[in-house]
Amino acid sequence: MRPPLSDRALLLLLASVTALGPIATNLYLPALPSVRAYFGASVAEVQATFSISLVMFAFGVLAWGPVSDRYGRRAAVLGGLSIMICGALVSVVAPTLHWLVAGRALQAFGVATGLVTARAIIADLYPADRMVKMLASLTMVAVVGNSLAPVLGGFLAAGLGWRAIFATLVATAATVTFVAWRRLPETRPADAQPPRASQMLATAWSLLRMPLFTGCVLQGAVVYATFLVFISLAPYVMVSALGRPATEFGLYYLFIAAGYFLGNWSVSRLMGRHDLHWMVVVGVLLTVVGAVAALAFVAAGLTHPLWIFVPIGVLSYGQGLALPNVTATAVSLAPQHAGVASSVIGFLQQLIGAACVQAMGLFPTDTALPMLVFVAAVCALGLAMLYVFPRVEAGRSHR
């Protein structure tokens, strides 16, 4: 029998499983210009290695939630990580861009288990109020590792080539899988009846018919779309528009990681002093302030990366403040089917983000303006949605 884990040890293990997805993305981002040069492809073609992986990640979060509800959290984690390792191996040896797209897609589908199953495990173990703090803590721990990934990815691509990034992922994922196999407990209630497919579909449909759930999903989609579009285009902008080496993207990415970390840290500090709606509103307002400031600075002719990344760091702080409250509210609407709820959230958010990434890949990257116009417009949309959908406290009446 596996010895029980303390809350802290379980949090570290779940953070490691969850962080594999963002780490895989963040390691790869600085290599996008190198991959483009290696295969002689266009920006839009190389963006497919990013956007297709987002689509497969979306289908992964849709699949792994029901799998974890039916077969258990532990089986979902171990199965997903094994698939992720296979995808990373395909990417290491990819002879063409199409093979790289396939490897990235397989990798993304597998690693999606981390996001979904970690949320479900937390929902299994903790009440709704504490779940918000645990989700924020989970993200904070994961962000520490994620923030260093672009720096490491840039130096790996520059020193050893972009394939070294996927070799590093294979080794990292294998280590996490081994630890999860040895220590991860099963948290799905023993007396829970495995849901039928028809039940899962009915649960998903009933959630989507709730204005509060739909509002949470769309508000989360705003966060993901702005983040994904910015981090996927910024490496090209750094090289083409700002004349900087691709390795510098990882250094400036620390502003984004620090902002999001501090936003999540603030959730635990502000809980009890301010209600959920206050944190969401302040967070969304800060995203608008950061996005508009970055756009204004670039439009005024200020071209140093700090004029972009410092305001985007403010935007990230706002996202870190708002997103845990939005996510916890949405998941808590279906306490008996936390895996299904988590899957629906992740699927729609990632699918919307993937569509935005691929569409924005058609715009020029020799200027930061198209990227920043998109970010500012979508953040403004998120602010407008606060006046359309119910307040997040309304979720308490469903718990």
Query: What whole-number distance in Å separates Cα of residue 32 and Cα of residue 231?
Result: 11
Nearest to 114 by CA among 14, 209, 187: 14
Backbone φ and ψ of 31, nearest 5°: -85, -5
Any residues with CB less than 8 A from the CB of 287 and at least 6 apart, and which?
222, 223, 226, 315, 318, 319, 322, 379, 382, 383
- Start-to-end CA distance of the chain, whole Å, equals 34
> What are 290's two structure tokens?
């950061």
Q: How many CB atoms lie within 10 A of CB 394?
A: 17
Give residue 7's pLDDT.
72
Any residues with CB less than 8 A from the CB of 178 and at least 6 apart, and which?
none
Give residue 197's pLDDT.
67
Give residue 22's pLDDT.
82
Give residue 308's pLDDT.
94
Q: In sequence order, what are the beta bridge partners of 274?
A: 271
Nearest to 350 by CA among 161, 92, 35, 108: 108
Give residue 190's pLDDT.
66
Counting as low any pLDDT under 70, the low residues of the chain are 1-4, 128-129, 132, 139-146, 189-197, 334-339, 389-399
Give residue 129's pLDDT.
63
Say whether 274 sits in a helix, a strand or coil.
Answer: strand
Domain 7-185+200-391 has CATH 2.40.128.280: no
Question: What is the pTM for the complete model shown?
Answer: 0.75
Nearest to 287 by CA among 277, 297, 295: 295
Give residue 398's pLDDT.
45
Query: What whole-number distance in Å separates Cα of residue 115 and Cα of residue 120?
Result: 9
Query: What whole-number distance in Å separates Cα of residue 141 and Cα of residue 162?
Result: 27
Give residue 1's pLDDT.
44
Alpha helices in 184-337 (DSSP H): 197-208, 211-240, 248-270, 276-299, 306-332
- H or E element, residue 34: helix 32-39
Query: What whole-number distance in Å separates Cα of residue 160 and Cα of residue 151?
Result: 14
pLDDT tens, residue by residue, 1-16: 455 677 778 878 888 8
Give residue 110's pLDDT.
94
